Structure 1
Amino acid sequence: MLEFAGFLPFLLVIGIAAIQLGLVGYAANQAGSAARAAARAQSLAPGTAQTAAAASTSSWLEPKAEGSGGEDTVTFTVTVHVPPIIPLFGDGWNVRRTATMPNDRTDAGS
């Protein structure tokens, strides 16, 4: 019993670290999806990138899309904020993902 009580804090730290790592991985996946959605939406209808990024992610990640479009391609970067599980360990992390899509607007070549 005494050995388990001494080892329990290590188990808790490892468990919390695993959950935090999973949360960062989830945020990276969501940021990639949001970047693709923002670039695709912007390539079809200019001005819709932020709405598409917000619609394709969990709202608690607070996605922020920024990017630019050229004549042939549209590139967007989405940043999401990952909060820490235990607030004592900092403010969290920002995860960025970038996606480039071909410009599919019908008026692009006209």
Structure 2
Amino acid sequence: MKRPLERLLKRLPRLPRLARRLRDDRGVSMLEFAGFLPILLLIGMAAIQLGLIGYGINQAGSAARAAARAASQGDDGTAAGQAAVSGWLDPNVSAPEGADLTTATVTVQVPAVIPLLPSVTVERHATMPTDD
């Protein structure tokens, strides 16, 4: 009878070590980061997309003003509008000269950074008095 009791007493010091190992939280932070990483990437890409849309709005407005100014003075407004925009935006410029006022319209396609979302179309107008 003494032997089973001795065996049990020898095993008792191992039990706390096993219980500690089961409650150990090593690696949990890595799993949390791996689970949260797609959300962080999506937020970053959305911020980049918003920045590109703002840049497209700024470029389209500048191009519309340049096209309206050039067309109101009798120059080629379409060429002036296209020269005022970054080439990768591929602007569509329309600047017909009117009798009293010249209105230029610039349309720009901002590409989508986030997959499965469509590209954004930005349109800006500018009006200048026509020089006689």
| TM-score with structure 1 setting the length | 0.87
Q: How does 1:5-16 map to 2 (within 5 A)?
A: 5-16=34-45
Q: In the comparison of the two structures, how many residue pairs are matched? A: 103
Structure showing greater relative contact order (alpha-carbon pairs closer than 8 Å, 6 or more residues apart):
1
Residue 100 of structure 1 is matched in structure 2 by 127
> Is 2:51 aligned against 1:22?
yes
User: Matched residue of 1:4: which SS?
Assistant: helix
Larger radius of gyration: 2
AA in 2 matched with 1:24 = I
Q: Deviations over 1:4-49 (max 9, x none)?
A: 1111100000000000010000000000000000000101124x11
Q: Which residue of 2 aligns with 1:79?
A: 107
Provide the secondary structure at the position in 2 that maps to 1:70: coil
Residue 87 of structure 1, CA deviation: 4.5
2:94 paired residue among 66, 71, 74: 66
2:64 pairs with 23, 35, 38, which one?
35
C-alpha distance in 2 between matches for 1:4 and 1:28: 36
1:72 is displaced (CA, Å) by 1.5
RMSD of Structure 2 on Structure 1 (CA):
1.3
Residue 85 of structure 1: CA displacement?
A: 1.6
Structure 1 segments unaligned to the other structure (5+ residues): none
- Residue identity over aligned pairs, in percent, reads 59
Instruction: Answer 1 or 2: which has greater helix percent.
Output: 2
Runs of 4+ aligned residues of structure 1 deviating over 4 Å after TM superposition are: none
Q: With structure 2 as the length reference, what TM-score do the two structures score?
A: 0.73
Q: Distance in 2 between matches of 1:15 and 1:99?
A: 33
Instruction: Write 1 or 2 for the structure with the bigger share of strand.
Output: 1
Paired amino acid for 1:79: T
Q: Give the Å deviation of 1:89.
A: 2.4
- The separation in 1 between residues aligned to 2:129 and 2:115, in whole angstroms, is 41
